[in-house]
Structure 1
Amino acid sequence: MILKSIISCFICLTILFAEAKPPKPTILVTGGGGYIGSHTIVELLNDSYSIVVLDNLSNCYAFNATEKPESLKRVEKLTNKNVVFNNIDIRDEKSLDKVFKTYKIGAVIHFAALKSVSESTRKPVEYYDNNVAGTNTLIQAMQNNKVKKLIYSSSATVYGNPQYLPLTENHPTGQNITNPYGRSKYFTEEILKDLSYADSQWKIILLRYFNPVGAHPSGLIGEDPTGIPNNLMPYLSQVAIGRRDHLKIFGSDYPTPDGTGVRDFIHIIDLASGHLRALKKLMDPEFRGCKAYNLGTGKGYSVLDLVKTFEKVSGRRINYQITDRRRGDLATVYADPNLAEKELKWRAERYIEQMCEDTWRWQMQNPNGYHTDEEESN
């Protein structure tokens, strides 16, 4: 009987250890207080990853420099999990090194970047300094601390003026890019490709975004740009809520069905889940080198399509004014997302109506974004 009990216990322990999974690595998220970063962190926390965030608060709201951004406080409410936050600029080499030495980082998801196409044409030096030089400083810190797994937040702008549509990952990059923002993303991609070629230990995934919109369905987190929005959806929703008088539509003479620019709008939750799938791919022992994936829906909608859908969803009339084209803008851009579906087992599931519904819920619940009414009035 005693022998049988011992054998039984041994079998139970063997099964228990066999079923026990090793803890997931800690992920360093740069720019994690921002729009895409905060939504991605929700997905990561819900999948049991531990998170360390770096953000210099240049495009996210915090009551003061010693506090977490409001977006991350709400992420903690949504997930009931803690987020470690560091107010650090990615160009600060000493502070970066300290973070890597303090926490056992398994991989990095790199969002931190300036991201306005129009602003980049006015401030090219700032964009190259932050987006290219900053990423290079981050890479050096990773190398110094033997962390060689990276997901890079790239952009469809690396394709330049499309030679064909939909855009596949094999489309040439770096040709006819119309703005410094796009070139900063292209230059960084090339650095990362060279890095992975020089050192086979590096595992890098380049995620080329199209046009993220929408918000978390809870309405707790969403897009809250600092100052005047540079992107269409937050500007549109601020017009609907009454924070701005009218929407400017830049150009109505493009070779598109209604003359306005056509873009591949992707719901932020779909985009965030794409990072989770990319991270699983990155952790695969068989994955090697540097690989790019498009994250888009594969369908284009015009600016006016988005305006009309938002009017329908919100029940508000959107005042808009047609003005001249913006320097650096393109007529039509949309993705071929089949490679991500095939290799990452990911595809976008939400379409334009839900993008508008979730944006409007966020805006209605947060008319001043992450600021309180009192702060806004002051």
Structure 2
Amino acid sequence: MTILITGGAGYIGSHTCIELLNAGHDIIVVDNFSNSKPEALKRVSEITRKYFRTYCLDLQNREGLEKVFTDNEIEAVIHFAGFKAVGESVHFPLKYYENNMNSTITLCEVMKKFHVNKLVFSSSATVYGVTDTVPITEESPLKATNPYGRTKQMIEELLQDLYDSDREWSIALLRYFNPVGAHESGRIGEDPNGIPNNLMPYISQVAIGKLEKLQVYGDDYPTVDGTGVRDYIHVVDLGLGHVKALERMLTTRGIDAYNLGTGKGYSVLEVLSAYEKAAGKTIPYTVVEKRPGDVAVCYADTSKAKEKLNWEAVKGIDEMCKDSWRWQQHNPFGYEKQSKMLVKN
């Protein structure tokens, strides 16, 4: 039996593929490569020394997706595929609703047709919106504040309705906080399009010289150093969390949400300091105005995942930064060949 990974060439998807293969699972990957590169999957095979089928396919292509299910004996699905940039979603909300909702609906309809009812969904802590109460538990109110987060929240509600209509389903909703880091091999990592939206890839691109300086949004929060505190989780720990969730889904029925984080917050300047230590250099930054809606402190209560999934994050901020820097050093232009990029310049 095989596990279908949608969006498996992406940052979190590719790391999860490695952990699934290392755990002895057979996988196939469906990805349209709109925000990822086939090279990531080639490197997954190199790292694990295992082969798996890959389909270049958009999930909204129902006929193509049904052929994938016809040609493979699929036992369960881990669903990563979807647009994911918060800022872009604000400017292009219809694009996000159309893609993220429709692709999930098509996937679930095809799963239902082929009697596959085990699903792990890649959700996000953005479903909680702005909250002043920490740590955030799975029972905290859902009040997403941007189109990207609302698509995640709406899909969670859709999946709850699906389970309510058919109690044979087993669904895990994984709400992750801030994935960072890279595989210890330095062969796969985060390869954002354009200027990064998230802190650590932004720091890494300043460290490698692609960007001039880091912008720190506000330094007068009521925190240890005045900068915002967030829960960062190593992407390998996150991948292992998906393996644990999958293995629980294979033997149970029901629907449950789980926070995946470290349960600890680090400030922007603490992350910057750890990255400087890993890179062995000073990384310039400038303080700019706060972003509207940002809260001072945000971190997860992860006790439910520890209790029910037998999972907890083990990698700390130093390891997150070391692995991120190794990836950035070995791949200064991401998955693009360096020589090709230099010719363009």
1:366 lines up with 2:331 in the alignment: yes
The aligned counterpart of 2:239 is: 272
**Pairing 1:51-200 to 2, within 5 Å after superposition:** 51-61=27-37, 69-173=38-142, 175=143, 177-200=144-167
Identity of aligned residues (%): 53
d(CA) in 2 for partners of 1:94 and 1:250? 46
Structure 2 unaligned segments of length 5 or more: list them: none
- Matched residue type, 2:140: H
Higher-Rg structure is 1
1:43 lines up with 2:19 in the alignment: yes
The aligned counterpart of 2:304 is: 339
Deviation at 1:157, TM superposition (A): 1.1
1:302 lines up with 2:267 in the alignment: yes
d(CA) in 2 for partners of 1:112 and 1:106? 18
Q: Against the structure 1 CA distance between its residues 361 and 191, is the aligned structure 2 distance closer, same or farther, given a 3 Å change threshold? A: same
d(CA) in 1 for partners of 2:259 and 2:27? 25
d(CA) in 1 for partners of 2:111 and 2:255? 16
Q: Deviations over 1:62-114 (max 9, x none)?
A: xxxxxxx1111111011110121111111222211111111111100000111
- Matched residue type, 2:159: L
d(CA) in 2 for partners of 1:112 and 1:34? 8
1:227 lines up with 2:227 in the alignment: no
1:202 lines up with 2:169 in the alignment: yes
Equivalent pairs, count = 343
The aligned counterpart of 1:16 is: none
Deviation at 1:312, TM superposition (A): 1.4
d(CA) in 2 for partners of 1:250 and 1:102? 50
1:348 lines up with 2:313 in the alignment: yes
d(CA) in 1 for partners of 2:91 and 2:224? 30
Q: Against the structure 1 CA distance between its residues 119 and 330, is the aligned structure 2 distance closer, same or farther, given a 3 Å change threshold? A: farther
Deviation at 1:309, TM superposition (A): 1.0
Instruction: Provide the secondary structure at the position in 1 that maps to 2:115.
Output: coil
Q: Against the structure 1 CA distance between its residues 282 and 44, is the aligned structure 2 distance closer, same or farther, given a 3 Å change threshold? A: same
- Matched residue type, 1:27: I
Deviation at 1:283, TM superposition (A): 0.9
Aligned-pair RMSD on alpha carbons?
A: 1.3
Instruction: Provide the secondary structure at the position in 2 that maps to 1:195.
Output: helix
- Matched residue type, 2:318: E
- Matched residue type, 1:153: S
Q: Deviations over 1:334-356 (max 9, x none)?
A: 10001111111000001100000
Instruction: Provide the secondary structure at the position in 2 that maps to 1:243.
Output: coil
Instruction: Provide the secondary structure at the position in 2 that maps to 1:349.
Output: coil
Deviation at 1:366, TM superposition (A): 1.3
Q: Aligned to 2:207, which of 222, 240, 248?
A: 240
- Matched residue type, 1:347: E
Instruction: Provide the secondary structure at the position in 2 that maps to 1:257.
Output: coil
d(CA) in 1 for partners of 2:285 and 2:62? 45
- Matched residue type, 2:247: K
TM-score normalised by the chain length of structure 1: 0.88
Instruction: Provide the secondary structure at the position in 2 that maps to 1:309.
Output: helix
d(CA) in 2 for partners of 1:108 and 1:328? 34
Instruction: Provide the secondary structure at the position in 1 that maps to 2:41.
Output: helix
Q: Against the structure 1 CA distance between its residues 126 and 357, is the aligned structure 2 distance closer, same or farther, given a 3 Å change threshold? A: same
- Matched residue type, 1:35: Y
Instruction: Provide the secondary structure at the position in 1 that maps to 2:223.
Output: coil
- Matched residue type, 1:121: V
